[in-house]
């Protein structure tokens, strides 16, 4: 009989972000409870643990379910692009559906079905979905200590690293269930109300024997290819500071602090705000700062912002648009064909009544010569990208087809982009795509009588706490508290 795996033998879960929270992974041979309300992603995370084990670490796994048929799981998980049948063909995975008492019976027998299966595929990882159903179906009520204890011991015996999924909440009352004591670790997934209209998905590690963990709640997201955990602020060291990338000040000291110096040059950031939130101070402070520092700026005009209004607003922030225009360092994309003062005339790219193809061509041809010239002079470029305007004028499909590509090209050229957007309005699907294609997200929203701001994504995976946006009398008119 093997003892529990040595502490230094760590099993990497392979789930993005999770291993960081676990100081590398979970000790081999341990049994972890993965608990959460229905729909929080237990099945997804469980499958991901097995899938990444097979794909990244050459470790085979078994998924045991009591209710859902394998067909259902194949289908649900194919949404993440996971071909589980193929893994089964390669003997890297087995998904089995059986009755709890059959499972127990087969587990307890020497050379029973379970043991045979373990040997057959050289299994290292196991997921049981779920321990709550196991109890219910086995008619164990709230008890079943003996049985659960036995299963855990079997896992240890075969040095299997196991996730026991558990429905958490409503029905269980206040007492801590038995399995939470006997298992080596507890990971909890939650979906909670967050301020007014927002909900947040968070993961918390409540216990993990044999490894030091990062405490606190960390956000997680469903991505196209599975769950991704974003470790919270406190744990990420300032490694980004030493990455050599220049930081562009936003003109707001407290925001610069959250961004560890400012926006990284060559990055694409989202400024996401709901309609009530005043993003203009933030945006204009950033744009004014770029002009004051001598950068070239490409403005995408919206229906509400014209060259004239930008001129006036930036003046409030101590930047002169006219001066920059005289030096040919500002350009404007206008979808609405508005007249401008003569000094701006040759700097506006009119794109109304153009097809998407013509639009791209026109912008490219107008900007490219300037871009080349100014890069030689060592000038930086900054783009104010108004996603709301692009989506309404060019369509969602255009954004989906081109955005990631455009951002990649900007990044490669060292051009910094700030995209103004309203994730709630443009819908979950497009916004999560946009979020993925960008390096960082600054989110601001109004709730009750306060405006909040939070960095929800940044290049190092760092998130900030929500801050209150406080208005002040003098420039830059806002500060974060």
Dist. CA 290–CA 51, nearest whole Å: 46
Q: DSSP secondary-structure letter at 2?
A: P
Q: Which stretch binds Mg ion (CB under 5 A): 12-20, 37-45, 281-289, 373-381?
A: 37-45
Q: Which lies closer to Mg ion via its Cβ, residue 43 or residue 464? A: 43
Q: 456 contacts which partner out of ligand ATP, Mg ion, none, CB within 5 to 8 A by kind? A: none
Work out whether the CA dihedral 166, 170, 171, 177 comes out positive or negative: positive
- Shortest Å, Cβ 128 to ligand ATP: 12
- Shortest Å, Cβ 77 to Mg ion: 11
For the beta sheet containing 31-36, the strands, ordered from the edge strand earlier in sequence to the opposite edge, are 93-97, 60-65, 123-129, 161-167, 31-36, 185-194, 198-208, 217-223, 226-230
Dist. CA 171–CA 112, nearest whole Å: 34
Q: Which stretch binds Mg ion (CB under 5 A): 43-51, 86-94, 206-214, 461-469?
A: 43-51
Q: Which lies closer to Mg ion via its Cβ, residue 43 or residue 285? A: 43
- Shortest Å, Cβ 46 to ligand ATP: 8
Q: Which lies closer to ligand ATP via its Cβ, residue 129 or residue 393? A: 129
Q: Which lies closer to ligand ATP via its Cβ, residue 43 or residue 420? A: 43
Dist. CA 52–CA 337, nearest whole Å: 52
b vs e for 357-395, b when ≥16 Cβ sit within 10 Å of the residue's Cβ?
eebbeebeebbeebbeebeeeebbbbbbbbbbbbbebbe
Q: 202 contacts which partner out of Mg ion, ligand ATP, none, CB within 5 to 8 A by kind? A: none
| Residue count, binding to ligand ATP (CB under 6 A) | 9
- Shortest Å, Cβ 101 to Mg ion: 21
Residue indicated by tokens 């946009």:
434
Work out whether the CA dihedral 74, 80, 84, 86 comes out positive or negative: positive
Q: Is residue 431 part of the contact set for ligand ATP (CB under 6 A)?
A: no
Q: 44 contacts which partner out of Mg ion, ligand ATP, none, CB within 5 to 8 A by kind? A: ligand ATP
Q: Which lies closer to Mg ion via its Cβ, residue 166 or residue 467? A: 166
Q: Which stretch binds Mg ion (CB under 5 A): 36-44, 102-110, 327-335, 459-467?
A: 36-44
Q: Which two tokens stand for residue 89?
A: 């063909």
Closest CA to 330 of 353, 310, 312: 310
Q: Are 400 and 390 in contact (CB under 8 A)?
A: no
Q: Which lies closer to Mg ion via its Cβ, residue 97 or residue 354? A: 97
- Shortest Å, Cβ 38 to ligand ATP: 4
Question: What DSSP assignment string belongs to 188-254?
Answer: EEEEEEETTTEEEEEEEEEEETTS----SEEEEEEETTEEEEE--GGGS-GGGGGG---EE--S-HH
Q: 14 contacts which partner out of ligand ATP, Mg ion, none, CB within 5 to 8 A by kind? A: none
Q: 39 contacts which partner out of ligand ATP, Mg ion, none, CB within 5 to 8 A by kind? A: ligand ATP
Q: Which lies closer to Mg ion via its Cβ, residue 31 or residue 43? A: 43
Residues 14-53 that bind ligand ATP (CB under 6 A): 36, 38-44
What angle do helix axes 100-108 and 113-121 make, rounded to 10 degrees? 70
Q: Which lies closer to ligand ATP via its Cβ, residue 43 or residue 421? A: 43
**List 4, 13, 31, 43, residue binding Mg ion (CB under 5 A):** 43
What angle do helix axes 387-394 and 396-413 make, rounded to 10 degrees? 130
- For residue 431, the SS3 value is helix
How far, in Å, are 280, 299, 451, 462 from residue 479 at the CA level? Answer: 13, 24, 11, 20
Q: Which stretch binds Mg ion (CB under 5 A): 41-49, 149-157, 310-318, 442-450?
A: 41-49
Q: 40 contacts which partner out of Mg ion, ligand ATP, none, CB within 5 to 8 A by kind? A: ligand ATP
- Shortest Å, Cβ 6 to ligand ATP: 31
Residues 202-231 that bind ligand ATP (CB under 6 A): 222
Q: DSSP secondary-structure letter at 177?
A: P
| Site residues for Mg ion per CB under 5 A | 43
| Site residues for ligand ATP per CB under 6 A | 36, 38-44, 222
């Amino acid at each position: 009989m093997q003892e529990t795996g040595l502490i230094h033998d760590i099993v990497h879960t392979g789930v993005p972000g999770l291993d960081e929270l676990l100081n590398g992974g979970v000790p081999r041979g341990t049994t972890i409870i993965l608990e959460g309300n229905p729909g929080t992603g237990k099945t997804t995370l469980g499958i991901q643990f097995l899938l990444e084990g097979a794909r990244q670490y050459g470790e085979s796994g078994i998924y045991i379910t009591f209710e859902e048929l394998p067909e259902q799981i194949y289908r649900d998980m194919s949404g993440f692009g996971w071909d589980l049948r193929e893994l089964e063909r390669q003997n890297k995975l087995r998904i089995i559906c059986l009755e709890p008492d059959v499972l127990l019976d087969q587990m307890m027998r020497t050379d029973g079905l379970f043991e045979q299966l373990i040997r057959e595929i050289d299994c290292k990882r196991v997921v049981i979905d779920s321990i709550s159903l196991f109890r219910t179906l086995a008619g164990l009520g709230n008890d079943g200590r003996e049985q659960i204890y036995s299963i855990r011991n079997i896992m240890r015996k075969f040095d299997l690293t196991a996730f026991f999924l558990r429905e958490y909440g409503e029905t269980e009352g206040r007492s801590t269930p038995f399995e939470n004591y006997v298992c080596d670790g507890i990971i909890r997934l939650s979906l909670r109300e967050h301020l007014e209209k927002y909900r947040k998905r968070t993961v918390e590690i409540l216990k993990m024997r044999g490894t030091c963990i990062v405490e606190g709640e960390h956000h997680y997201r469903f991505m196209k290819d599975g769950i991704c955990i974003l470790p919270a602020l406190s744990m990420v060291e300032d490694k980004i500071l030493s990455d050599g990338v220049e930081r562009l000040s936003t003109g707001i000291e407290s925001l610069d602090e959250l961004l560890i110096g400012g926006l990284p040059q060559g990055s694409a950031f989202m400024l996401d705000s709901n309609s009530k939130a005043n993003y203009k101070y933030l945006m204009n402070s950033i744009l004014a700062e770029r002009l004051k520092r001598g950068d070239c700026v490409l403005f995408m005009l919206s229906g509400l912002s014209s060259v004239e209004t930008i001129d006036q607003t930036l003046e409030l922030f101590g930047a002169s648009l006219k001066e920059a225009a005289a030096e040919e360092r500002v350009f404007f994309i206008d979808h609405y064909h508005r007249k401008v003062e003569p000094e701006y005339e040759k700097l506006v790219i009119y794109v109304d009544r153009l097809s998407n193809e013509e639009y791209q061509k026109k912008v490219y041809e107008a900007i490219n010569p300037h871009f080349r010239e100014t890069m030689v002079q060592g000038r930086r470029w900054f783009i104010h990208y108004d996603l709301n305007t692009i989506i309404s004028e060019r369509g969602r499909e255009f954004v989906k087809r081109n955005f990631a590509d455009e951002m990649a090209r900007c990044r490669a050229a060292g051009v910094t982009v700030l995209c103004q957007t309203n994730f709630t309005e443009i819908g979950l699907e497009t916004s999560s795509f946009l979020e993925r294609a960008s390096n960082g997200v600054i989110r601001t929203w109004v709730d009750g009588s306060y405006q909040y701001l939070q960095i929800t994504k940044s290049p190092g995976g760092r998130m900030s706490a929500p801050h209150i946006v406080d208005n002040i009398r003098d420039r830059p008119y806002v500060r974060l508290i």
